[in-house]
Structure 1
């Protein structure tokens, strides 16, 4: 069949009571992205004509996270079929394929949705195509009963299945693609006269077959269709997503010496020939250029790192950190909302916040930009080629000129001209013999005691 428009309906009305959380279940993050966001991302590649999120009454946070998708309210919640019924008004006038997804399946891939659509558009024009999977333990999943020609005859809930049906390994994942023109008729036939007292989307298969319409199955990797209902399951999904992201990064030219210890986000971007040592954590919005080395135990979020830069070990890059080509940020250094320009070095025990460090400048150990006065943040500007001695405090707002030197231990409160030497510390005074006299007096005092 020719390519047709696609509408995506994502069911996200579940309260997630087993998560024991005030936050709606589908907004819990995996790899730094809400579960619902992962599903939206997978569907967005298809460029759907309509995206409809079915939420429960009062779930404003879900609606906000789903913008600009259309929102349909299911109230009260009376099953998956009832949820799709709630989406029908938003589908008015649409002709094409309707894909029903779940907002708590963060490992869903675009490829699976494409396979689902391809089957829906097959030569026999099925009214519905169901996603099935073969778990290691089928447990209490519904079983997909398929005939010898590959046609789906029915979906049997475990508790209603015969011993022969329970022996079937192909289970129902719940994801479905429908022909939009036949969907309303199938939904109209649903009834809540069952043990659950709900309108079940799975019953559409039985009604389609009764009308002489074909139904098909597309098989998926069990990991892709994993639904999340508990915190324990959330951790399993996180582990699976991390493995997926690590493999993708390594396939793209990143070396990880201990990949199982590296934590990535969905939006982490890498160039080629990047080396990541063990126990590195990436927060959101991080981009890493070619030939970057990130050493152990570094934490990076909201930062951009240009080609050839070195970070860590034990470095922290906070939002707004920008490292230019060949910049060095070393151990126990924190960078926040600051640019470290090409070839500059900030190598030891230093805090640089709300600042610019010019090209090839050198920042000594223990330097602090004093950017906060208790009310407002202020900027520090360090010129190209400047040298800041160890244990210096630069009290913002302040500017250190190009090529200037700040002596170790200085507190700088005024601008330093280019190529100047600045000393902002108390005068050293030596008193010969005083140390020996001090010790002699102390010894004499102790003897009297």
Structure 2
């Protein structure tokens, strides 16, 4: 393989005990996608031709979640440190020569542009190891970058740092680029003589210096991108940062968000220009909304296809439904999975539908349940009408 190629290893084997959850940490959702999905996507978007995730705790659930992806998995059966975790991926990369990007499965905010900048710096310096670093006013909890006359000398973990080293404000983000195949050779020179008795990936920097290899550092512009998720508080903080990023993109695309701070839009949602979204709206899953719509406060949608010039009134809930152009829904309407509105339809307050198809201009203005029904064009459903597929038993 040629030098310009790149593969990625994602460390995702940690137990995540501070999350206090049965769900593996890297599967916790962030704006509609698992933490690990965000990291995998960043790796693929910056040019990684092969992605290997090292998993341990909850391995089967992680494999199941990403069964349809082209990501490969390596198992770290025993948690012996981050250096040992990378070694667990060696069999997948034994013949590779090029750049190896190392990411963490619980660091989901890294932008593609940041990783591209790291890669450019790595190539420019021709280093064996390039570390992505950041400056933090409160660096407690992070490994510190110790520099000398020739640049980066080593990385020292917080628990092993001296008082002087703890005052260093340049921290290790846990993101690296290595030149292959020397990365695994260097790892074999790392010992576990430290406070935790683990094989620290950070010690590869000192091992590289001892072997006469060049070590470089690339400073991250926005330290928030390197934020790791270890507990629910950090997950909430990361969600707010990602939500702001998503909402800014919609605003730049011509969508009006009356109050972005109280508008919740998942990563996979698409919204057409000139649509107005009011506060308290929750737009989830693979929802697609056309141009010129109005979404009033408190609307909740998941996996819906909404046409153009649709008016969704306050308190309406929609799931796995298709709504044609020029419809009016609500207030307080409930469209359950399988609902299809052809266009120019009206479903008023307290109307519920399930597996119901309404022809063009059909309407039910209030207090109606339409289940397992096919309604023709121009039909008016009166108040209190019920259709269902239920005989009291089945």
TM-score range for the pair, normalised by the shorter chain length: over 0.9
In the alignment, the residues of structure 1 paired with residue 115 and residue 204 of structure 2 have an alpha-carbon distance, to the nearest angstrom, of 19
In the alignment, the residues of structure 2 paired with residue 159 and residue 47 of structure 1 have an alpha-carbon distance, to the nearest angstrom, of 35
In the alignment, the residues of structure 1 paired with residue 345 and residue 357 of structure 2 have an alpha-carbon distance, to the nearest angstrom, of 10
Equivalent position of 1:350 in the other structure: 351
User: Conserved in 1, the CA contact under 8 Å of 2:247 and 2:260?
Assistant: yes
User: Conserved in 2, the CA contact under 8 Å of 1:57 and 1:73?
Assistant: no
Higher relative contact order (CA 8 A, sep 6+): 2
Residue 182 of structure 1 deviates from its aligned partner by 1.5
User: Conserved in 1, the CA contact under 8 Å of 2:3 and 2:99?
Assistant: no
Q: How does 1:278-427 map to 2 (within 5 A)?
A: 278-319=279-320, 321-336=321-336, 337-369=338-370, 371=371, 379-395=372-388
Equivalent position of 2:109 in the other structure: 107
Equivalent position of 1:190 in the other structure: 190
Residue 283 of structure 1 deviates from its aligned partner by 2.1
Matched, 1:141 2:142: yes
Shift of the 381–140 alpha-carbon distance from structure 1 to 2, 3 Å rule, reads: closer
User: Conserved in 2, the CA contact under 8 Å of 1:306 and 1:324?
Assistant: yes
> Residue by residue, what CA displacement relative to the aligned partner does 1:244-292 show, whole Å, maximum 9, x if unpaired?
1111111111111111111111111111111001111112111111111
Other structure's SS at 1:367 match: strand
In the alignment, the residues of structure 2 paired with residue 290 and residue 116 of structure 1 have an alpha-carbon distance, to the nearest angstrom, of 38
Matched, 1:125 2:126: yes
In the alignment, the residues of structure 2 paired with residue 58 and residue 20 of structure 1 have an alpha-carbon distance, to the nearest angstrom, of 14
Other structure's SS at 1:41 match: helix
Other structure's SS at 1:64 match: helix
> Residue by residue, what CA displacement relative to the aligned partner does 1:404-428 show, whole Å, maximum 9, x if unpaired?
xxxxxxxxxxxxxxxxxxxxxxxxx
Matched, 1:231 2:224: no
Equivalent position of 2:72 in the other structure: 70
Shift of the 395–171 alpha-carbon distance from structure 1 to 2, 3 Å rule, reads: closer
**Structure 1 residue ranges without an equivalent (≥5):** 372-378, 398-449
In the alignment, the residues of structure 1 paired with residue 377 and residue 249 of structure 2 have an alpha-carbon distance, to the nearest angstrom, of 38
Equivalent position of 2:213 in the other structure: 213
After the TM superposition, list the runs of 4 or more consecutive aligned residues in structure 1 that deviate by more than 2 angstroms: 46-49, 63-68, 145-149, 156-168, 394-397
TM-score (norm 1): 0.82
Equivalent position of 1:6 in the other structure: 6
Larger mean Cα displacement after TM superposition, 350-359 or 210-219 = 210-219
User: Conserved in 2, the CA contact under 8 Å of 1:364 and 1:391?
Assistant: no
**Structure 2 residue ranges without an equivalent (≥5):** none
User: Conserved in 2, the CA contact under 8 Å of 1:131 and 1:219?
Assistant: yes
Equivalent position of 1:30 in the other structure: 30
Equivalent position of 2:248 in the other structure: 247
Equivalent position of 1:172 in the other structure: 172
> Residue by residue, what CA displacement relative to the aligned partner does 1:188-207 show, whole Å, maximum 9, x if unpaired?
11111222211111111111
User: Conserved in 1, the CA contact under 8 Å of 2:3 and 2:97?
Assistant: no
Residue 380 of structure 1 deviates from its aligned partner by 1.1
User: Conserved in 1, the CA contact under 8 Å of 2:23 and 2:58?
Assistant: no
In the alignment, the residues of structure 1 paired with residue 75 and residue 377 of structure 2 have an alpha-carbon distance, to the nearest angstrom, of 58
Length, aligned pairs only = 385
Other structure's SS at 1:246 match: helix
Residue 46 of structure 1 deviates from its aligned partner by 3.1
> Residue by residue, what CA displacement relative to the aligned partner does 1:81-135 show, whole Å, maximum 9, x if unpaired?
110111111101111111111111121222222112111111x300011111112
User: Conserved in 1, the CA contact under 8 Å of 2:140 and 2:166?
Assistant: no
Shift of the 287–361 alpha-carbon distance from structure 1 to 2, 3 Å rule, reads: same
In the alignment, the residues of structure 2 paired with residue 282 and residue 257 of structure 1 have an alpha-carbon distance, to the nearest angstrom, of 15
User: Conserved in 2, the CA contact under 8 Å of 1:152 and 1:214?
Assistant: no
Residue 10 of structure 1 deviates from its aligned partner by 0.5
TM-score (norm 2): 0.93
